Amino acid sequence: MEAKLKNESVNRVILEAEHIDFSYDNGYKVFENINLEADTGKFIAIIGPSGIGKSTLLRILGGFLKPDSGKIKLMGKQLYEPTPEVALIHQSIVTFPWMTAEENVMLSMKTKDMSHDEMAEKAKVSLSRVGLEGFEDLYPKEMSGGMRQRVAIARAFAADPHVFLMDEPFAHLDELTAEGLRQDIYNILFSGETPLKSVIMVSHNLTEVLELADEIYILNNMPASIIGRVAVTMQRPRNPRSDEFNSNLDMLYGYLTPPRNKR
Amino acid sequence: MNELLLIVLGVLATAIQVIILVILSIISGWFLAYASIKSKIFENIYIIFIEIFESVPVITFFPVVLIIFITRIGGPLGTQLATDFLVFTAVVWNIWMGEYQAFKTVPNEMVEVTQNSGFGLFSKLRYLYIPFSIPRIAANLFPSVSDGFFYITVSEVFTVGIHSYQTFGVGSVLDTFVADANLHAIYLTLLVLGIVIVGVVLILREFSRYAVSKYTLDTDVPILKRGRSNIKETTRIFAAISKNPLSRLSRYYKYRENERHEEKYEKREKKKKYYRYVYGAVAILLLILILYESVLLALSVKIDEWHILFNRTGYLLYSLGYDYLRVLIILLVSMLIAIFLGYYLAVHKRAEFFGIPIIQTLSAYPAPIYFPFLFILTEPYIIGVFGGFTNELYVLFLGFVSTFYYVLYAFWMGVKAMPSEYWEITKNLKLGFFKKMRKVILPSTFPYLISGISSTINSAWGGLMIGEYWPDIYGTHSLEIHTGLMKTIDLATANGNIALAAWGSLIFGIIVAIYSVAFTRRMMDVAQKKYVAEEGVYSS
């Protein structure tokens, strides 16, 4: 299914960043001339040292922050503000504690022209897609961290997004839960059952990045710019113990030397 | 009318008024809090306004408010509205401040989820901001309802000069029974009021439990104080530049679509800016209105009267010094009790289980209602022991019972919120009670204590205002102390000298506001920087 999807729409750019410059309110320049493309069927990863601005870049890509200059385009149209077509999944697990799992998922459909029953039905489908069938009436407090993150992902799915922006989505989970969720998410992402076309993930976990990504953008320097773009050609499923995997890992480590200050 | 029915109706009228006014302050607070997170101008004016009025006891400016309502509206409606205004201003600040703080601390990630779903104002309020503010509202409900009962019973019967104003409620019903010396009815009223207050306390406790269990954050979303939006306004960039005419033509349709999208975006941005200006304009308009009314009030006082008022300012400040001394004594006694009793309740579950509801009920039971009866019963014995100091002692007692709960609660909550690791360290080091208190408990509960001290001081003024000059507390016997600003304001009100009462209130308001800014806020800053983690400060 995955291969089919990729072959159908090779090289069609879904989300792109063109010449992005961005500074904080205090004048500190974070990015200089960032260019990025997310093609159909591609899992893109952005890596870089801590504090380089990976999460900020993700928010610019989602329209949550406006760049000083440059454009973000979603399927050719300029993106000016957040839209349900580009769903952001946070590093912190964001569920609304006063809502059940189903209500949490229904939240992303509230602005759509749907009846309550339609929303509930779709929420159930989304929850079952992330393995939470039968847990619809549970409150987040009654769930584990992994389950809550699945609820957040189901909520994002329910909005029928074209792009997923994932900000270190497995960082708050233990390694075993994260591993299971990673595989599940990857399988769902490109199953073809959803309108999802591309994923952009930020992570500092290089093993995770190599396991999932088709393409890796490397951020470094101050202000940050893309210093490398690596296509990951390893066959799936990828074995983190293989020599090929480790040589790729070494290559990524090579890029991530401490940032060099231009100023 | 049947006596019992009259009592029940009176108590219900009072309780329902308090509840309606609390609900009104909650609803208005949501919109004001939302306006203040959207507009910096609005936020600045709003917060200064809250901080000043939160620290000035409402009862001190009641005579002026009453006169404004009587002269502008008149009749029973004017009196009723004046009472409601007084109670509203008694309950509203805690709740408004709590809601504002809740809205300001909504995690950015949750806001982003609502942005991602394209929510408008009402959806954001409904699904995010209002639920997020519920625990803070629950935390502030109890003191607000207590204050509401305290001030409504006082304001139901009020005398300015030769005029007496009344509204229907437990205060006025009780006043009638006292005038008739109907002891049976008096006891029955106190009992019915007690039952209703116990009911209210139980409901509030259940609500607090429910609010905490359902609405507090369960996630690891960081609760960080969210500043105003960092989003920089940037100029629109859209220029279809292409040198090739054919390519331009082929992309024409796409650009047309983009232009439409861009137009929509521009319109939305303009709308957002427009709302920001509206919020700012509303705040400025309110400020101008208040200033205008103040100037009108000032101009209505003749020049000669101003001379008299200025000449009396020295004495007013001197009297205020006396009152600060009283507040200090009340505070020290309250703190002493709070530290021992609060600690005991926090570490003994059984005592806490019974003690806290009893204390909550007592604190919600308005002291001005039962105080005269306590006075009648005890005065003959107290005067034998304390002689000429008796009245002073009663005023201090009234101030104390009106307020000591705040610091007790604050300290109790602080001890309860102490991390278990701290307790383990005290056990590990085998620290004795006083050392443990000095080295661990007091520093770690410092923000709670400051918050409690601030509320205790603010509420002590209400007790002093009522107690320092209480004419005919029973029969022809009056409770009166020698010197005090509250007494001066009371006397001026009773004599119909509204100018002096207003001037005294104004001076008092200025001093209290300065004190609040210079002391309370500084202490909170110290607490935030030095003594506790960020989230502890917010929860306190």
Q: A165: nearest CA in chain B?
A: B116
- Provide the mean pLDDT of chain B: 81
For residues B192 and B295, membership in a common domain is answered with no
Cβ pair B261:A80 closer than 8 A:
yes
Residue A94 with chain B: CB contacts under 8 Å: 107, 109-110, 112-113, 219, 221
Q: A60: nearest CA in chain B?
A: B231
Name the burial class of residue A190, with classes exposed (0-12), middle (13-18) and buried (19+) by CB atoms within 10 angstroms of its CB: buried
For residues B190 and B313, membership in a common domain is answered with no
What is the DSSP secondary structure assignment for residue A88, as one 8-state letter?
A: E
For residues B262 and B408, membership in a common domain is answered with no
The residues on B that touch A, with CB distances below 8 Å, are: 107, 109-110, 112-113, 115-120, 123, 127-128, 131, 134, 213-222, 230-234, 237-238, 254, 257-258, 261-262, 265, 268
Domain with CATH 3.40.50.300 in chain A: 2-85+162-255
Cβ pair B127:A107 closer than 8 A:
yes
For residues B1 and B121, membership in a common domain is answered with yes
Residue B219 with chain A: CB contacts under 8 Å: 92-95, 97, 140, 148
Q: Rounded mean pLDDT of B444-451?
A: 81
How confident is the model at residue B265, as a pLDDT? 55
Residues in chain A: 263
Range name among A85-94, B243-252, B365-374, B383-392 with the lowest pLDDT average: B243-252
Distance CA A56, CA A22 (A): 9
For residues B127 and B151, membership in a common domain is answered with yes
Of the residues B300, B322, B349, the one at which a domain ends = B300
Tokens 């609390």 belong to residue: B22
Give the DSSP per-residue string, chain A: -HHHHHHHTTT-EEEEEEEEEEE-TTS-EEEEEEEEEEETTEEEEEE-STTSSHHHHHHHHTTSS--SEEEEEETTEEP-S--TTEEEE-SS----TTS-HHHHHHGGGTTSS--HHHHHHHHHHHHHHTT-TT-TT--GGGS-HHHHHHHHHHHHHHT--SEEEEESTTTTS-HHHHHHHHHHHHHHHTSSSSS--EEEEE-S-HHHHHHH-SEEEEEETBTBEEEEEEE--PPSSP-TTSHHHHHHHHHHHHH-SPPPB--
User: Model confidence over A62-75: pLDDT tens digits?
Assistant: 999 999 999 999 99
Q: Above pLDDT 90, what percent of chain B?
A: 24
- Residue B108 pLDDT > 50: yes
Cβ pair A108:B117 closer than 8 A:
yes
Of the residues B229, B244, B262, the one at which a domain ends = B229
Q: Rounded mean pLDDT of B12-30?
A: 93
- For residue B113, give the nearest of A76, A78, A94 by CB distance: A94
Q: Rounded mean pLDDT of A98-112?
A: 93
The CATH architecture to which A2-85+162-255 belongs is 3-Layer(aba) Sandwich (3.40)
For residues B281 and B207, membership in a common domain is answered with no
Instruction: Output the domain CATH number for residue B15.
Output: 1.10.3720.10
Instruction: State the DSSP H helix or E strand holding residue A231, giving kind and residue range, or none if neither.
Output: strand A225-231
For residues B415 and B327, membership in a common domain is answered with yes
Q: Which of residues 220-259 of A touch B (CB under 8 A)?
A: none
For residues B225 and B237, membership in a common domain is answered with no
Distance CA A263, CA A48 (A): 19
- Residue A195 pLDDT > 50: yes
Of the residues B204, B229, B254, the one at which a domain ends = B229
Residue B463, domain extent? 304-540
For residues B59 and B206, membership in a common domain is answered with yes
- Provide the mean pLDDT of chain A: 87
For residues B223 and B252, membership in a common domain is answered with no
Provide the β-strand partners of residue A163: A86, A198
CA distances from B210 to B103, B125, B129 (A): 20, 20, 18
Range name among A99-113, B124-138, B232-246 with the lowest pLDDT average: B232-246
Mention every residue, 6+ apart, whose C-beta is less than 8 A from residue B156: B14, B83, B166, B167, B168, B169, B170, B171, B172, B175
Q: Per-residue confidence at B338, pLDDT binned at 50, 70, 90? A: very high
Quote ipTM for the complex.
0.84
Cβ pair B215:A98 closer than 8 A:
yes
Q: Above pLDDT 70, what percent of chain A?
A: 93
Give the minimum alpha-carbon distance from A123 to chain B in angstroms, rounded to a whole number. Answer: 15
Q: Rounded mean pLDDT of B33-40?
A: 88
User: Model confidence over A12-54: pLDDT tens digits?
Assistant: 899 999 999 999 888 889 999 999 999 988 999 999 888 889 9
Q: B210: nearest CA in chain A?
A: A98
Residue A144 with chain B: CB contacts under 8 Å: none
Which is more confidently placed, B526 or B490? B490
For residues B260 and B380, membership in a common domain is answered with no
Does A97 contact B at CB distance below 8 Å? Answer: yes
Helix B498-515 vs helix B485-494: angle between axes, to the nearest 10 degrees? 150
User: Model confidence over B152-190: pLDDT tens digits?
Assistant: 887 887 777 777 888 899 988 988 888 888 889 988 999
Which is more confidently placed, B204 or A183? B204
For residues B296 and B361, membership in a common domain is answered with no
- Residue A98 pLDDT > 50: yes
